[in-house]
Amino acid sequence: MQYAMLIYDEDGSRPEPPTEAFKEMMAGYFALSEEVQANGMFQAGAGLQGVDAATTVRVRGGKIATTDGPYAETKEQLGGFYLLECKDLDEAIEYAAKIPTAAFGCIEIRPVMVYDQT
């Protein structure tokens, strides 16, 4: 089953470049990415630019409306994701705990819906 692992943290809570703590955090991300790619679990993943680069799109009455910024104003912001093929939720939790941001933010695990097109 595929699980999306959504990576959240509060602005200012993560280590910033060029500190040693930032280098250690990124080394953890690179190691995890290599591990899940090597064992065939990796489906997709990426870091996201900050919320200041976000654009929100809504369609109302057939008209497109855009606003600068995120969909919702919250303390914790979505910073990236992994999409992994895991045997079950327990394995997904095991890998979510390896995501470096789990040490100062949180990881939301969501099973991916499978649609039957028949």
The full length of the chain comes to: 118
- From residue 17, how far is each of 13, 49, 110 by CA, in Å? 13, 15, 30
For residue 72, is it left (φ>0), alpha (ψ between -120 and 50) or beta?
Answer: beta
From CA 83, how far away is CA 109, in angstroms rounded? 10
> Does the global pTM surpass 0.85?
yes
Over its length of 118 residues, how does the chain's per-residue pLDDT go in tens digits?
A: 999 999 999 988 999 999 999 999 999 999 999 999 999 999 999 999 988 899 999 999 999 999 998 777 788 899 999 999 999 999 999 999 999 999 999 999 999 999 998 7
